[in-house]
Structure 1
Amino acid sequence: MAHLLGADGIALTIGTRTLLADVSLGLDDGDRVGIVGPNGAGKSTLLRIFAGTALPDGGRVTRVGGSTLGMLDQRDELPDDATVLDLVHGDAETHVWASDARVREVHDGLIADLGWDAPVAKLSGGQRRRVALAALLVQDPDVLLLDEPTNHLDVEGVAWLAAHLRERYGRPGTTGALVVVTHDRWFLDEVCSRMWEVRGDGTGAVDGYEGGYAAYILARAERARQAATAAEKRDNLLRKELAWLRRGAPARTSKPKFRLDAASALIDDEPPPRDSMELARMATRRLGKDVLDLESVSVAVPGKVLFDDVTWRLGPGDRYGIVGVNGAGKTTLLALLAGRREPDSGRVKRGKTIHVRELSQDVAELDELGSLKAVEVIEQEKGRVVVDGKELTASQLTEKLGFTRERAYTPVRDLSGGERRRLQLLRLLVSEPNVLLLDEPTNDLDTDTLAAVEDLLDGWPGTLIVVSHDRYLLERVADRQVALLGDGTIRDLPGGVEEYLRLRAAAKAAGASASGTPGGSGTPGGSGAAGGTGAAGTTSGTGPAAAGNGSGDELSQRDIRAAKKEVSRIERRLAKIAQKEAELHENIAQQATDYQAVARLDAELRDLVSERDELEAAWLEAAEVAG
């Protein structure tokens, strides 16, 4: 394989911190590398050194002549006066890129819902991210550097990007290499064949691992086990040496000095203390039988119905993950549950014993506490907390959350995004809630912190609702998942995120079929775009009612309304079936020794599965008409 990019002995120190020290790395054709490490360790800096936008203090970066390089920065600094077309294709002639199937695939995957003339100033953060990605991918560089590419992308967008990169840089015989910095562990496993870990412990080292994220975790665990074994042996030897010194000959002889030197060497070889990310499990207040119920709830925003006569019941200990298209109402749903918003019709029934706390997406709750130190924020919420039978102070709690003493006494306004999110999560937990609402909790957190948060949530006994595009997190902490598909309903997902992606693909195929363009046009805002939105996100009239079915026979508005009602009816029945299936499985487990009862319950279960299959087929037919 051809060598593309290399770093030879690079070193970088910022202030008193050593980020990189004598680091040598290389990229060859076919390499797909994921970079992980603690926040602030230097992951983004390493990418910028590769790209040539940052210079190391020592060493050099070499690149093969004639090769091209493209980089996506963590922040999308796009000119507000530019349009989508300006950013993606610049001055290139339309016929040059419109005839390229690879370019049309990027259009369909990332910007099919945007108009070419949409000004950047009117785009949301997620839309700007997708435009920046599209502009980079259509260039098809030999070396692609991506810094947090999944930020602001929904589950569907992340899945498309992973498939595209794996196909472009992972097929046998392909040229080019990929390096990505991301906290999305599912993405790392799907895309990457190697991992680099920037330690961030002051040594400036970067360790290499073969395989994706799962393989990296296994290899790191094995290294930790070997280090622990070596440390145990070293400790045993140290104890023997020190015991000998206490019993040894007078200090005027040479032997004790030799022993002292040996003991000093053992002590110096002791590894530095790990930056602990242990998160304390907080006691929760008593939670009654009734928690939160949405009863016949409807909510509309200008130009769109988010929820249409929705009923959804949450019980004690329920753990739901929520996925959905952007703008479908995920954050609005959390606002309803938190009591920050009232429905247009229907009601939100709240249990008498519930204590709800919410982690918002931008952690704006901390803005008004900017002058306080991190430890003071926790003291203000609760001075002392009992964890595992021990009383801990606010200072001890922040230390357990990974804050060094220096950072614990840093004003909130000077904390990084990841530190603010950790602090706010701890602030919520010390208040002992029994209902926890988390809106994109993985933003700005490194992979080690995410693992610690998951360990905490995994054993948390209250009712948990998580909105996230992080599939790894959802599959770990949520027992069930639901989807907001933009049709005003909450759809249960027995098959998890994979089922959601299948439903979205079916809906897109149905929309393309109804508009008579099964392959899509590859042009943003054109008839191949799902929903056909323009610059401001308004409907452009390319849906089934306007486009017809491709043969000249247009669907009537009555047919479309009837199909939408049928879709809603089927989804409500599917939700009931899912609940009944769960109850039957539980009953079968409880009556496992009663053969007759198990046989009867199993027959009921088979009938439910058969009905579910028929309903899902009917849903697809109705969805094709509803669009």
Structure 2
Amino acid sequence: MAVPLVGAEALHLEFPTRVVFDSVTVGIEEGDRIGIVGRNGDGKSSLLGMLSGLIEPQAGRVTRRGGVRFGVLPQTDDLDPATTVGHAIVGDRPEHEWAGDAAIRDVIGGLVADVPWDARVGALSGGQRRRVALAALLVGEWDVIALDEPTNHLDVEGIAWLAEHLKNRWSRNAGGLLVITHDRWFLDEVCTETWEVHDGIVEPFEGGYAAYVLQRVERDRIAAATEAKRQNLMRKELAWLRRGAPARTSKPRFRIEAANQLIKDVPPVRNAVELQRLAVARLGKDVIDLEDAGVRYGDREVLRDVTWRIAPGERTGILGANGSGKSTLLGLISGTVQPSSGRVKRGKTVRLGLLDQQFSQLTEIGGERVREVLARTKTTFTIDGKDLTPAQLLERLGFAREHLSTRVGELSGGQKRRLQLLLLLLSEPNVIALDEPANDVDADMLAAMEDLLDSWPGTLIVVSHDRYLLERVTDQQYAILDGRLRHLPGGVDEYLRLRQGQVSSRAPAPATPRVTQAGASPSGLSGSERRTAQKEVASIERRLDRLNAEVKSLHQRMADHDQSDYAGLQQLTDQLRAVEGETAELEERWIELSENLID
């Protein structure tokens, strides 16, 4: 029998107020890619700390195979604030050594291309410092890597890069990975096994997040009497995974027949037509229009020429790199930012609720107890046809009874985020804008949050780097690219392709001179081939302009249409999907041709 890379036997860990683990035995084998999930505070980081040697258990032991190299990214780094970014990542190695290593160049380009190489670590933002710490770890040679929330401070593009890096870092049956993250897309993309930490134990499941959800639903079905609430919620999550993300659940390890049996009586996650009908009733036809809007701070133009007619019932996700202007766009929509050019027009009936990253809604009530805040709120909230009180909603979002007596200012980040969302929903807005709602929230609470939003009949705009959340709660996505707002018929995948086309060389290593044959163009195309490609590009651009106009027209017709005419609405929806499908195909061809002309 093969000796595991890392083994733990009968681990016991307790703090003065509670026992975290009692007699936990786990092991990491060659080729394991393990995701660790569980509620905040249940011991995920403590488990990682014991396995990596950062925390000493009170009983039991952790063993490593001889010579195993174990690299760790904890939640807080130990970087020297006085050292430079370059020295923190590559140390004293001469430039020709690290710059000549393709693996190191890839890490630098994927994580810190926008961070000044000679900057002092102490002068960096929290997000930049986190990425430097991650890069410093990944340029090393390790047999096992443990990562605690590595996707924090990474945008969608950075998360996709990290997933690809970890999938290709070792050969299939070599190396070991442990990762704690609330990013469910990342878990599903990278992990082959999932450990759920709960009630002082570690429960293993085969596969990534989708397979874990299936197995957990099966477990909860068996224990339905005690797990009724969690069972219903996770069955809904499983239904979305099977119906809304087929590529994710088509992996051989995902037992499709068992999944279909479990969700045979689960309705679709959202009734889009009914929600739009209710949204129009609450909002009317005019919501918020941005017309050629731009925002400039001094000499820096953040947004330009943004034209967007936000429709009633629209559920839109906003993508963009860090600093691209996503929060500024939400500011334009909410009225906290005034346009430098163009205009923003709001419908008379619009009541907008904004969930920001700074918990500003909780500032004035920081000294009050949670129960005192809820006592002033008489509104109920309807989920699946049932009216829930504020206290019931808070329980559904993971609050225990003892938390009701806690002062708002003393809540954890995740608890504040849940209370913030609850108060936002109970204020009865008809337009909601969420700025990074997944921050500080674990996977279970994200599922509960999504469940609440499924039943909410209004216009929803979400800014997030959490790809799973965006695909789960929104029906379309836009991106901010070079200050402009662009529709993404192909969703997150299209955004990543566009960003890849935007970014040339991201690493600081000098570029290799290009050599071309005499008479050949830099792209490698002959003169006639180049002219033909340029003509096709121009033709595609003209067709895309017509299709974009058609999309706007269809959106207008859907907004003006009799909302009780479900058949007519469905026909318009089918036309819209066909147009968006053609647009996606043409955009892919445009990218392909453009790359050939540039290369």
TM-score range, shorter chain: 0.7 to 0.9
For residues 286 and 606 of structure 1, the distance between their equivalents in structure 2, rounded to whole angstroms, comes to: 29
For residues 85 and 608 of structure 1, the distance between their equivalents in structure 2, rounded to whole angstroms, comes to: 44
Match of residue 207, structure 1, among 203, 206, 214? 203
8 Å CA contact retained: 1:521, 1:527: no
Taking structure 1 as reference, are residues 494 and 583 closer, same or farther at Cα in structure 2, changes over 3 Å only?
farther
8 Å CA contact retained: 2:83, 2:120: yes
3-state SS of paired residue (1:3): coil
For residues 592 and 326 of structure 2, the distance between their equivalents in structure 1, rounded to whole angstroms, comes to: 23
The superposition leaves residues 332-382 of structure 1 with CA deviations (integer Å, 9 ceiling, x where unpaired) of 0011111101000111101111111111123243234221112223334x2
**1:43 paired to 2:44:** yes
For residues 474 and 580 of structure 2, the distance between their equivalents in structure 1, rounded to whole angstroms, comes to: 24
Aligned to 2:508: 523
Taking structure 1 as reference, are residues 413 and 47 closer, same or farther at Cα in structure 2, changes over 3 Å only?
same
For residues 463 and 394 of structure 1, the distance between their equivalents in structure 2, rounded to whole angstroms, comes to: 22
8 Å CA contact retained: 2:489, 2:581: no
Aligned to 1:576: 549
3-state SS of paired residue (1:444): coil
Aligned pairs for 1:45-124 (under 5 A) are 45-76=46-77, 78-124=79-125
**1:22 paired to 2:23:** yes
3-state SS of paired residue (1:33): strand
3-state SS of paired residue (2:380): strand
For residues 165 and 439 of structure 2, the distance between their equivalents in structure 1, rounded to whole angstroms, comes to: 23
For residues 230 and 322 of structure 1, the distance between their equivalents in structure 2, rounded to whole angstroms, comes to: 39
Aligned to 2:361: 365
- The offset of 1:393, in angstroms, is 5.5
For residues 163 and 420 of structure 1, the distance between their equivalents in structure 2, rounded to whole angstroms, comes to: 33
Give the counterpart letter for 1:409 in structure 2: S
For residues 356 and 328 of structure 2, the distance between their equivalents in structure 1, rounded to whole angstroms, comes to: 12
- The offset of 1:231, in angstroms, is 9.5
The superposition leaves residues 452-497 of structure 1 with CA deviations (integer Å, 9 ceiling, x where unpaired) of 1111112211100000111111111101100011x12100000100
Give the counterpart letter for 1:31 in structure 2: D
8 Å CA contact retained: 1:581, 1:605: no
For residues 91 and 397 of structure 1, the distance between their equivalents in structure 2, rounded to whole angstroms, comes to: 55
Taking structure 1 as reference, are residues 5 and 353 closer, same or farther at Cα in structure 2, changes over 3 Å only?
same
Match of residue 504, structure 1, among 466, 490, 499? 499
8 Å CA contact retained: 1:4, 1:27: yes
- The offset of 1:392, in angstroms, is 6.1
- The offset of 1:59, in angstroms, is 0.7
For residues 2 and 319 of structure 1, the distance between their equivalents in structure 2, rounded to whole angstroms, comes to: 51
8 Å CA contact retained: 1:507, 1:623: no
The superposition leaves residues 41-76 of structure 1 with CA deviations (integer Å, 9 ceiling, x where unpaired) of 000111111111111121111112211111111234
The superposition leaves residues 548-583 of structure 1 with CA deviations (integer Å, 9 ceiling, x where unpaired) of x899xxxxxxxxxxxxxx999998766434445668
3-state SS of paired residue (1:152): coil
Aligned pairs for 1:299-448 (under 5 A) are 299-380=295-376, 382-385=377-380, 387=382, 394-448=390-444
Segment drifting more, 387-396 vs 216-225: 387-396
- The offset of 1:90, in angstroms, is 1.7
Taking structure 1 as reference, are residues 611 and 408 closer, same or farther at Cα in structure 2, changes over 3 Å only?
closer
Give the counterpart letter for 1:504 in structure 2: R
8 Å CA contact retained: 2:362, 2:408: yes
Aligned pairs for 1:167-316 (under 5 A) are 167-169=168-170, 171-173=171-173, 175-199=174-198, 201=199, 204-228=200-224, 286-316=282-312
8 Å CA contact retained: 2:317, 2:470: yes
Q: TM-score with structure 1 length normalisation?
A: 0.75
State the percentage of identical aligned residues. 50
**1:490 paired to 2:485:** yes
8 Å CA contact retained: 1:361, 1:439: yes
The superposition leaves residues 22-41 of structure 1 with CA deviations (integer Å, 9 ceiling, x where unpaired) of 00000111110000011100
Give the counterpart letter for 2:192 in structure 1: S
For residues 438 and 423 of structure 1, the distance between their equivalents in structure 2, rounded to whole angstroms, comes to: 14
For residues 137 and 464 of structure 1, the distance between their equivalents in structure 2, rounded to whole angstroms, comes to: 38
8 Å CA contact retained: 1:297, 1:307: yes
Give the counterpart letter for 1:523 in structure 2: P
Taking structure 1 as reference, are residues 88 and 62 closer, same or farther at Cα in structure 2, changes over 3 Å only?
same
Give the counterpart letter for 2:193 in structure 1: R
Unaligned runs of 5+ in 2: 229-274, 513-521, 525-538
| Superposed CA RMSD | 3.7
For residues 425 and 471 of structure 1, the distance between their equivalents in structure 2, rounded to whole angstroms, comes to: 19
- The offset of 1:626, in angstroms, is 11
8 Å CA contact retained: 1:574, 1:612: no
The superposition leaves residues 571-620 of structure 1 with CA deviations (integer Å, 9 ceiling, x where unpaired) of 876643444566899999946999xx99xx97x99898767755765577
8 Å CA contact retained: 1:570, 1:619: no
8 Å CA contact retained: 1:11, 1:58: yes
The superposition leaves residues 252-301 of structure 1 with CA deviations (integer Å, 9 ceiling, x where unpaired) of xxxxxxxxxxxxxxxxxxxxxxxxxxxxxx99892121111111101123
3-state SS of paired residue (2:294): strand
Give the counterpart letter for 1:207 in structure 2: E
- The offset of 1:109, in angstroms, is 1.1
Q: What number of residue pairs does the alignment pair up?
A: 522
8 Å CA contact retained: 2:477, 2:489: yes
8 Å CA contact retained: 1:481, 1:494: yes
Taking structure 1 as reference, are residues 316 and 527 closer, same or farther at Cα in structure 2, changes over 3 Å only?
farther
Give the counterpart letter for 1:576 in structure 2: A
Aligned to 2:158: 157
Give the counterpart letter for 1:73 in structure 2: P
For residues 37 and 103 of structure 1, the distance between their equivalents in structure 2, rounded to whole angstroms, comes to: 33
Give the counterpart letter for 2:342 in structure 1: G
Aligned pairs for 1:448-459 (under 5 A) are 448-459=444-455
3-state SS of paired residue (1:228): coil
Give the counterpart letter for 2:89 in structure 1: V
8 Å CA contact retained: 1:10, 1:22: yes
For residues 86 and 207 of structure 1, the distance between their equivalents in structure 2, rounded to whole angstroms, comes to: 40
For residues 301 and 626 of structure 1, the distance between their equivalents in structure 2, rounded to whole angstroms, comes to: 32
8 Å CA contact retained: 1:147, 1:181: yes
Taking structure 1 as reference, are residues 92 and 409 closer, same or farther at Cα in structure 2, changes over 3 Å only?
same
For residues 15 and 505 of structure 1, the distance between their equivalents in structure 2, rounded to whole angstroms, comes to: 50
- The offset of 1:622, in angstroms, is 7.4
Taking structure 1 as reference, are residues 211 and 392 closer, same or farther at Cα in structure 2, changes over 3 Å only?
closer
- The offset of 1:523, in angstroms, is 2.2
Aligned to 2:460: 464
8 Å CA contact retained: 2:381, 2:426: no
Unaligned runs of 5+ in 1: 233-281, 513-519, 529-548, 552-565
For residues 162 and 316 of structure 2, the distance between their equivalents in structure 1, rounded to whole angstroms, comes to: 25
The superposition leaves residues 80-138 of structure 1 with CA deviations (integer Å, 9 ceiling, x where unpaired) of 32211121012223333222211111111111222320222332332222111110000
For residues 575 and 46 of structure 1, the distance between their equivalents in structure 2, rounded to whole angstroms, comes to: 51
- The offset of 1:443, in angstroms, is 1.0
8 Å CA contact retained: 1:355, 1:433: yes
Give the counterpart letter for 1:358 in structure 2: L
8 Å CA contact retained: 1:8, 1:61: yes
Taking structure 1 as reference, are residues 622 and 33 closer, same or farther at Cα in structure 2, changes over 3 Å only?
closer
Taking structure 1 as reference, are residues 411 and 573 closer, same or farther at Cα in structure 2, changes over 3 Å only?
farther
Give the counterpart letter for 1:178 in structure 2: L
Taking structure 1 as reference, are residues 310 and 572 closer, same or farther at Cα in structure 2, changes over 3 Å only?
farther
Give the counterpart letter for 1:385 in structure 2: T
Could you say which structure has the larger radius of gyration?
A: 1
Aligned to 1:274: none
